[in-house]
Chains A and B, each alone.
Chain A
Amino acid sequence: GQQVMQIPQYQHVQEGEDFTTYCNSSTTLSNIQWYKQRPGGHPVFLIQLVKSGEVKKQKRLTFQFGEAKKNSSLHITATQTTDVGTYFCAGSNTGKLIFGQGTTLQVKP
């Protein structure tokens, strides 16, 4: 069945460093979504990408959807302690949303 893999599983960075998480699907996706879960919280929708090669920005966050629509990335520039949490990608090609395992980001002040 459809699988969505996310790497790395954990990332520790110093505040001010950049951070990137990668998401890869075994099948072509119709769209990719990103969610953030703060420690002790619930996943919150960040953004959705639909078009091949699409790039979207939200302040220090840059989201990309691959040309083949099988991979995506989230890049955070100059991390802050408020960026701490687990970032999930979620892909869909059959209407069913499949989540990656998530990347947990820790930021040292």
Chain B
Amino acid sequence: DSGVTQTPKHLITATGQRVTLRCSPRSGDLSVYWYQQSLDQGLQFLIQYYNGEERAKGNILERFSAQQFPDLHSELNLSSLELGDSALYFCASSIRLSGANVLTFGAGSRLTVL
């Protein structure tokens, strides 16, 4: 158990629908990162939050949005879903090590869009 909690583990939905993925970082970690991993793809950085504020943005589609709440949990909202959105979505929190952020990933949420 990495200490980063993601729900749901699996989600099956239809095109055009909207889903919300939830993440709780490790106790004491202020940062939350969201990554998308499609089949045979690497880890695509979506967005990062730090203590409730957006810190960095990656290749996140306009149909996707995220936020971090005062209790530090985060939600990733995916709307107008398309078949290509089927992927594993990972959340991570970080610690500082020698001036860099080292990520601890959750177990992921597997989204299947039919």
How far is A102 from B56 in the complex, measured between Cα atoms in Å?
A: 22
Could you tell me the distance in whole angstroms from the C-beta of A95 to the nearest C-beta in chain B? 7
Q: Which of A42, A90, A96 contacts B56 (CB 8 A)?
A: A96
A31 with B98: in contact, given A42-B106, A43-B103 (CB under 8 Å)?
Answer: yes
Q: Answer yes or no: A101 CB below 8 A from chain B CBs.
A: yes
A42 with B100: in contact, given A96-B56, A98-B45 (CB under 8 Å)?
Answer: no
Collect the chain B residues with CB atoms within 8 Å of residue A95's CB: 56, 101
A42 with B107: in contact, given A33-B102, A48-B98 (CB under 8 Å)?
Answer: yes
Collect the chain B residues with CB atoms within 8 Å of residue A96's CB: 45, 48, 56, 58
Interface residues of B (CB under 8 A from A): 2, 35, 41-43, 45, 48, 56, 58, 90, 97-108
Q: Which of A41, A43, A44, A99 contacts B45 (CB 8 A)?
A: A99
Could you tell me the distance in whole angstroms from the C-beta of B65 to the nearest C-beta in chain A? 19
Q: Answer yes or no: A78 CB below 8 A from chain B CBs.
A: no
Q: Which of A43, A50, A92 contacts B43 (CB 8 A)?
A: A43
How far is A46 from B58 in the complex, measured between Cα atoms in Å?
A: 24
Do A42 and B103 have beta carbons less than 8 Å apart?
Answer: no
Could you tell me the distance in whole angstroms from the C-beta of B64 to the nearest C-beta in chain A? 18
Collect the chain A residues with CB atoms within 8 Å of residue B108's CB: 42
Interface residues of A (CB under 8 A from B): 6, 30-31, 33, 35, 41-45, 48, 50, 88, 90, 92, 95-102
Collect the chain B residues with CB atoms within 8 Å of residue A41's CB: 107
A92 with B100: in contact, given A42-B105, A42-B108, A43-B90 (CB under 8 Å)?
Answer: yes
Do B107 and A50 have beta carbons less than 8 Å apart?
Answer: no
Could you tell me the distance in whole angstroms from the C-beta of B106 to the nearest C-beta in chain A? 7
Could you tell me the distance in whole angstroms from the C-beta of A6 to the nearest C-beta in chain B? 8
